[in-house]
Amino acid sequence: MKGKSKFVRKLLMVSVSLSLFVPVLAACSKSGGEEAGQERVLRIGTIYGYGQDDSYLRQQYTDIYEYAHPNIKIEFVSAIDGSSRRYDEPKPDENQPDPFEETKKLLTGTNPPDVMIMDTGVYKKLVRDNMLKQLDPLIQQDKFDTSDIVPTVIDGIKQLGDNNLFGLTPTFGSSALFYNKKFFTQNNIEPPKDGMTWDDLFALARRLKSDDGKKFGLQLNRYSNDPFYDMTGTYLPALQLRTLDDKGEKMTVNTPAWEKAWSTFAKLVNDKVIPSAKDGFNGNMMDGGKYDPLQGDKFLSGNVAMTISDYNYINDLIDANKNASKIKNFEKVDWDVVTLPTFPEEPGIGGNIYLNNIMGINAKAQNDKDAWDFIKFLNSEEWAKLKSRSSYEIVSRKKYIQPKDGLNFNIAAFYTLKPVPPNNADMDSMYRMNNFWQVQDKGREIFQTVLEGKKTSAEGLKEWEQKGNELLLQMKKNQKKPVTDGTVNGTTTEAVPAG
C-alpha cells in the first residue's frame, strides 16, 4: 500500500509538470518551423563557463526548447572557462582576462556560437563593432510582439544600440526603495513616493532618524554599512560621475559634483541619518550571543525606516513575517516599495537595474535561423508565464509581473525607471587590472578622514586625485608589479596586490 501511494504521488507530480509545460511546448513547436530532417546544431555562447557543467544553463534556458525540437542539438561554449583556473597555481601578478576580448575571439573563431548571452558592457561593445545581427527586421518580418516588454528592458537595450535592437533579454534584475510603514504612521509623516529626487529622499530620511542615534532613516544597501561604497555603487552611477578619464590614465574626481556628493554623504553619516561601519550589525543580538536570524538586517530588525534592495529581498520579508513567532523580539514588518530616487539632471533614470542575460545573434552565425527562433521563444509570452514564478529575477513581459503569495505592493517600482547606461566600456580593463583596487581603496581611506573632520571634501578629493594619479602612472609602467603611492597612514610602504 505504501509503495502504491509513492507511485501515485510520483505520477501526480509528473502530470502536474507536464500540464505546465504543454502550452509552452506547443508554442515552441509552432515557432520552430520545419522539424523533419537532419540534426542541426545550435551553439550558444556565454561569457563565463565552468567546464562541462552546463546543467544550470540547460535547466534555465534550453531544456524545454530542445525537447520540443528533437532534431536540434544545443551546445554551450564559453569565452572564459572558470573551471580551468581551479587547477592553476595562484599568480598574484596575473591580470584577469578581458571579457570583451575573449568574447570577440569566440565569436570570430572557428565554429563560433550562433547565439551569445551577455551583459550590457559586452553587448554595447559588440554592437559598436558590428558583431551582432540587428533584430528589428526579424521582429517586423515575423510580427513578433514586443509591446508588452517593459520600458526598463526594451528602452534600456535600445539605448545601448543607437535606438536599435541587437538583442533581447527574457529577464532582468532590479532594485527599489523598501519602506517600513510603521515609521511613518508613528511619526505622522507621509511615506515615500515614486519619482522622488535624492534630495527629497535624504530630507525624508532625516525626519525619521531617532535622537539617540540607534534608528536610522535610510540604508542604501542592506548588505553593507560602508558609506563610501554605498555612495559610489548606488548614489553616483545615475549621475555618471566617473573615477577615471576615457583612457583610464587620469583621475576625474576633483570636481564640484564629486565634492557635493562627498559633503552630502559625510553629513548624512555624521548626523546619523544613514548607518556607518561603526554602527555594527542590527544592534539587537540575542542574549548570550545566540543565533539571531536578523543579524545584519537593520530593516527587518526595525532599526532602519527605508532601505534599497533587490527584488529577491521580498522573499526574506515574506519568510520573516511567516516565522515571526519564532524570532525573539521581532515584530512583523508592514512594508511597501517605491521607485529608486533620481536626479533632476537625469530624470527617469535609476540605478541598480541589471540586464545580464541579453541574447543576440552572432553576425557570423552558421545557424542564424534557429538562433532567431530560440531567442523568440525565450522572449515569448509562453516562456514568461512559466518563468514568472521565479523568485530571483523578473520576467520582461509586463503581463506576467505580478506580486507573489497574494501580496499587494507597488511592483511597478521595479520596472518603471530606465537603467543607468554602463560606464565607459573602455574602462572595463582598468577595473580588472591587478592593482586597480588600490585606487578605490585610497579613496575610501581618504573619505574616512573627511568623516572624522580631519579634511574637507575638497581637500580629500584633491588628495585622492593626486595619490590616484601616482598609482595609475605606476600601473601603466608595469601592471604586474606592486605599486605604492609612497605613504599609507603616514608610513612609506609598498602595496601588496590582491590575490
Q: Which of 18-22, 92-96, 230-234 has the highest mean pLDDT?
A: 230-234
Predicted local confidence at residue 248, as pLDDT: 81
39: left (phi over 0), alpha (psi -120 to 50) or beta: beta
Predicted local confidence at residue 428, as pLDDT: 64
More confident residue, 482 or 59: 59
If pLDDT is split at 50, 70 and 90, which confidence band does 483 have? low
Window from 244-258, 335-349, 384-398, 472-486 with minimum mean pLDDT: 472-486
DSSP 304-362: EEEEEEETTHHHHHHHHHHTGGGSTT-----EEEEPPPBBTTBTTEES-EE---EEEEB
Cβ burial of 320 (10 Å; 0-12, 13-18, 19+) is: buried
Contact 325, 391 (CB under 8 A): no
Cβ burial of 82 (10 Å; 0-12, 13-18, 19+) is: exposed
Number of Cβ within 10 Å of residue 256's Cβ equals 9
For residues 148-165, average pLDDT: 93
Q: What is the pLDDT of residues 200-255, one digit of tens each?
A: 999 999 999 999 999 999 999 887 778 999 999 899 988 888 898 888 889 999 99
Predicted local confidence at residue 279, as pLDDT: 80
If pLDDT is split at 50, 70 and 90, which confidence band does 2 have? very low
Instruction: Report whether pLDDT(454) > 90.
Output: yes
Predicted local confidence at residue 33, as pLDDT: 47
If pLDDT is split at 50, 70 and 90, which confidence band does 406 have? confident
Query: What is the three-class DSSP state of 63?
Result: helix
Predicted local confidence at residue 477, as pLDDT: 80
Number of Cβ within 10 Å of residue 467's Cβ equals 21
Number of Cβ within 10 Å of residue 386's Cβ equals 17
Number of Cβ within 10 Å of residue 206's Cβ equals 16
Predicted local confidence at residue 215, as pLDDT: 95
Cβ burial of 368 (10 Å; 0-12, 13-18, 19+) is: middle
Strands (E) in 214-303, as ranges, are 216-219
Instruction: Report whether pLDDT(493) > 50.
Output: no
| Mean pLDDT score of the chain | 85
Instruction: Report whether pLDDT(70) > 50.
Output: yes
Predicted local confidence at residue 85, as pLDDT: 63
Amino acid in position 496:
V
More confident residue, 64 or 366: 366
Cell of 13: 507530480
Instruction: Report whether pLDDT(326) > 80.
Output: yes
Compute φ and ψ for 45, nearest 5 degrees. -100, 145
Cβ burial of 291 (10 Å; 0-12, 13-18, 19+) is: exposed
Predicted local confidence at residue 498, as pLDDT: 32
Distance CA(442)–CA(448), nearest Å, equals 10
Window from 80-84, 296-300, 425-429 with minimum mean pLDDT: 425-429
Window from 30-34, 136-140, 245-249, 250-254 with minimum mean pLDDT: 30-34
Distance CA(152)–CA(134), nearest Å, equals 20
Distance CA(468)–CA(463), nearest Å, equals 8
The residue extents of the domains of the chain are 26-169+355-401, 174-350
26-169+355-401: CATH superfamily: Periplasmic binding protein-like II (3.40.190.10)
Q: Which of 61-75, 423-437, 474-488 has the highest mean pLDDT?
A: 61-75
Contact 375, 170 (CB under 8 A): no
Predicted local confidence at residue 419, as pLDDT: 87
**How far is the first Cα of the chain from the last one, in angstroms, to the nearest whole number?**
59
The reply to whether CATH 3.90.1570.10 applies to domain 174-350 is no
- Which residues, 6+ apart, have CB-to-CB distance to 239 below 8 Å? 257, 261, 343, 345, 346
Distance CA(433)–CA(376), nearest Å, equals 38
Instruction: Report whether pLDDT(46) > 50.
Output: yes
In Å, how far from its chain's centre is CA 254?
A: 28
